[in-house]
Structure 1
Amino acid sequence: MLHYPVAPSSDSGDFDAVASDGAFLPRYLARIGYAATVAPTMEVLAALQAAHIAAIPFEGIDALTGAGVDIGADAVDAKLIGQRRGGYCFEQNGLFLRVLKAIGFDAEGLIGRVRWMLPEDAPPTPRTHMVVRVMLDGRPWLTDVGFGATVPPQPLAMDSEESQSTRHETYRIVRTGDVWQVAASIEGEWRTLYRLDHVSPPAIDYEIGNWYTSAHPDSHFRRQLIAARTTAEARYGLRDNRLTTRLTDGRIDRRYLTADEIERALAEIFLLPVRPHWRAAIERAATAEIAG
Structure 2
Amino acid sequence: MNDINLLFRKRIGLNSNEPIKIKNISLILELTASAIPFENLCTLSGSLDELNEDSLADKILHRNEGGLCYDLNGILYLFLKENDLDVQLIRGSVYVPELKGFSPTGRTHAAIIMNDGGMRYLIDTGFGGNLPLRPVPLDGSEIMTPTGEFRVKKALSEFGDYFLEMKLKNKDTDWRTGYAFDSRDPVDNVSDLSEMKKIITEHPQSPFNKKPLLTRVNANGSMVLTETSFTRWKDGQVAKEEIDATQFKQLAKEHYNLDVK
Q: Does the alignment reach a TM-score above 0.5?
A: yes
Secondary structure in 2 aligned to 1:222?
A: coil
- Of 175, 178, 183 in structure 2, the residue corresponding to residue 193 of structure 1 is 178
The residue that corresponds to 2:195 in the other structure is 208
Gaps of 5+ in 2: none
Matched, 1:176 2:158: no
Q: State which drifts further: 221-230 or 59-68.
A: 59-68
- Of 186, 200, 207 in structure 2, the residue corresponding to residue 220 of structure 1 is 207
The residue that corresponds to 1:142 in the other structure is 122
| 1:173 Cα offset (Å) | 1.4
Matches of 1:207 and 1:70, distance apart in 2: 6
The residue that corresponds to 1:234 in the other structure is 221
Secondary structure in 2 aligned to 1:159?
A: coil
Q: State which drifts further: 130-139 or 67-76.
A: 67-76
Residues 34 and 109 from structure 1, CA distance in 2 versus in 1: closer, same or farther, beyond 3 angstroms?
A: same
| 1:40 Cα offset (Å) | 4.0
Amino acid at match of 1:225: P
Gaps of 5+ in 1: 1-19, 279-292
The residue that corresponds to 1:81 in the other structure is 61
Secondary structure in 2 aligned to 1:206?
A: helix
| 1:36 Cα offset (Å) | 5.7
The residue that corresponds to 1:260 in the other structure is 246
Residues 137 and 61 from structure 1, CA distance in 2 versus in 1: closer, same or farther, beyond 3 angstroms?
A: same
| 1:97 Cα offset (Å) | 0.5
The residue that corresponds to 1:163 in the other structure is 142
* Maintained 8 Å contact 1:28/1:81: yes
Amino acid at match of 2:187: P
| Deviation string, structure 1 residues 271-291 (Cα, Å, up to 9, x no partner) | 22x04xx3xxxxxxxxxxxxx
Secondary structure in 2 aligned to 1:223?
A: coil
The residue that corresponds to 1:51 in the other structure is 31
Across the two proteins, how many residue pairs are aligned to each other?
253
| Deviation string, structure 1 residues 194-240 (Cα, Å, up to 9, x no partner) | 11012213447522211101222321211121111112222111233
* Maintained 8 Å contact 1:54/1:231: yes
| 1:43 Cα offset (Å) | 2.2
Matches of 2:245 and 2:208, distance apart in 1: 18
* Maintained 8 Å contact 1:93/1:131: yes
The residue that corresponds to 2:47 in the other structure is 67
Matched, 1:113 2:93: yes
| 1:23 Cα offset (Å) | 2.0
Q: State which drifts further: 58-67 or 30-39.
A: 30-39
Matches of 2:113 and 2:8, distance apart in 1: 20
The residue that corresponds to 1:251 in the other structure is 237
Cα RMSD after superposing both structures: 2.0
Matches of 1:251 and 1:228, distance apart in 2: 17
Matches of 2:103 and 2:69, distance apart in 1: 22
Amino acid at match of 1:166: T
The residue that corresponds to 2:106 in the other structure is 126
Bigger proportion of residues as strand? 2
Secondary structure in 1 aligned to 2:10?
A: helix
| 1:127 Cα offset (Å) | 0.7
Amino acid at match of 2:109: H
Secondary structure in 2 aligned to 1:110?
A: strand
Amino acid at match of 1:71: L
Aligned identity (percent) is 23
Residues 69 and 229 from structure 1, CA distance in 2 versus in 1: closer, same or farther, beyond 3 angstroms?
A: farther
What TM-score, normalized to structure 2? 0.89
* Maintained 8 Å contact 1:229/1:237: yes
| 1:180 Cα offset (Å) | 1.1
* Maintained 8 Å contact 2:4/2:82: no
| 1:75 Cα offset (Å) | 1.0
| 1:94 Cα offset (Å) | 0.7
Secondary structure in 1 aligned to 2:225?
A: strand
Residues 220 and 122 from structure 1, CA distance in 2 versus in 1: closer, same or farther, beyond 3 angstroms?
A: closer
